[in-house]
Structure 1
Amino acid sequence: MRYIIIGAGAVGGAIGGRLAQSGREVVLVARGAHLAALREGGLRLRVPEGELTYRLPAVEGPARLGALRADDVLILAVKTQDTEAALAAWGPAPVAGGGTAAGRLPLLCAQNGVEGQRLALRRFRHVYGVCVWLPAAHVEPGVVSAAGTPLTGMLHLGRHPHGTDGTLRRIAADLEAAHFGAPVVPDVSRWQYAKLLANLANAIEAVSGPLESEAARALYDRVRAEGEAVLAAAGIAHASATEQKETRGDRITLVPLPGGPRGGGSSWQSLVRGTGTIEADHLNGEIVLLGRLHGVPTPLNELLQHLANTFAREHRAAGSLPVAELVRLAGEAAPAAG
């Protein structure tokens, strides 16, 4: 199988680099300065064993590849807000022997939240969900850092909306040979909703920095409680903290990387790169949406969604809102819980 990584940033770059290291054929899809750097100097993957460089085919879209192959696997690793554009570009791409990517090829949505795979299923026939536990960073063109060891990350895999199949098991075997845990599960959404609850902290980290203070952690507890109440009202199951801990165990330990970026996760990285967009609409905003559908107030998630979007739109510096000010705003948004 050949793996086409649509969005070779932090997650996509780490997956693509590790697959290449294990001998799999990989094509990277990127744009702008990152694409130029990949073409000029290759993918520089910083991992605990050192910096590895992979000179892989790098393209902006399917046109440069010609007809796709019947054994291609598409891994969608763009931010959710960029999903529609990626699906529109890759769905109609012709496949050798007839048909299109949307009709014939497997598409794995290696993204935060749950909306990407919903969007994909409108266009693609064979859609797979991925619950991504992969601590990685991409803030410099051509460079991706992934600090996890002995596994680089844990990628739960399942068909969307449910089930498994032989294609997925073959993909899982390739991932497991490439420094990943890749459990194949029939209920991948349970794991994705559990990850969504953790990702509600992304906006806090993006606007006010790492959750190091007691005040920041207490705020996240309240934000998460809103999320848990919404999922309960919607009848949506999620993996428990115990399940998650047992699955990961000590298989992913973070180690300091020389030259590795300091800061935070995917939302923080979007602000640092100045992309102008952020995924809050599909993290905190997913809780807001479900809350409105099921009559559960979500003032704290609404606040964080608004702040994160404002920071991205106005190109404000990541972590520049003092935690005390964020807590004050949260108290005004949800005085009964303050």
Structure 2
Amino acid sequence: MKEIKSIIEHYLKIDFSTTRAALATVVRVEGSSYRRVGARMLVTEDGQWIGGISGGCLEGDALKRARLAMSTGKASMVTYDTTDDDPYQIGVGLGCNGIIDVLLSPLNPNDTHNAVLQLQPLVSRRQPSVVITVIDSVLDELPKGSVHRFESQENFEFPIARREVMDCIHTCLTNEKSALQTLTGDFGSITLLLEVIPPPIHLFIHGGNYDIFPLVRQAKELGWLSTVFCNPQKINKSLFDWADHVVQKHTEIKPDDYTAVVLMAHDLETDFQNYQRYITATQVPYIGLLGPRKRFEKMIQRLDDEGITLSTEQFQRTYSPAGLDTGAATPEEIDLSILAEIRTVFSHREGGQLRKRKTPIYSEES
């Protein structure tokens, strides 16, 4: 989402009366690639770009091809084959060993299906959305490069095969996985990329000591949201520059499925009260507690004394001590290990070393 936000912010500053622009989007990856499906790069005709479609090796060529799309006003597809031994092939010798399809779409600010404008409402949305990009089509009502956004069934409109498209959307949302889909019928044939875009992770951080600052700063760099629960009168004012919200420590804010809670008040009673509330009254997928395991065992004993027995599911949502086993010692390192653990939880991963992984890092897109 951070890349999408940066692209939107830059797009809104473009003076389209004097400047043209295009969007490069990775729509298919076969094999290995630095960036995956959904990676984007906004290009203006003066040579500036925001975002990226690779680790820097393909951007220059994509910039040239994007200018062609701007001049013709039509979307086009380019394939980069880094598995080819042809020395004239862009990307050869990089060692990626993948095939990447990139869609280059000129951006018309007056087009309601403009690829960037369709993304804009997603920035503040707290539920997964599906962005549908037309990859191949000869239909006037669905030109190549046009984008449609799905947020709810009631508000979704699609000019053809709506029922079939809806079925594909539900499958993608259920699997939490993007997919390429080709539909055929009386209208002919169209190919669509259905991209699942989740909202950014939102950290609820309970604490007001100096060790929360690197956590908030690193979350900001990741493009995550953060709300800090503390005494705003006693906190260093620099926190307001990094956190999205700083609120009184007893403020009640409802978390959602993309919220991660980190309890780091360094006060057993405060952390216990917050933990009890989150674990019993919410379905937050991650509740991390700073401190040794014995501290958490005291909380469990107190819950038992109050007649509260945690279920297996509740224990699975509890991470105490919070963080991956990285040998972290400083506040910055500890906070980094916590953020890494949160990322693994939301990615349904274990957080092991990649060199020991027996299967591909990324599942293959269709």
- The TM tier, using the shorter chain, reads under 0.3
In the superposition, the TM-score normalised over structure 2's length comes to: 0.25
**TM-score under structure 1 normalisation?**
0.27
More helix by share: 1
Q: Point out which structure has higher relative CO (alpha carbons under 8 A, 6+ apart).
A: 1
Specify the structure having the higher radius of gyration (Cα).
2
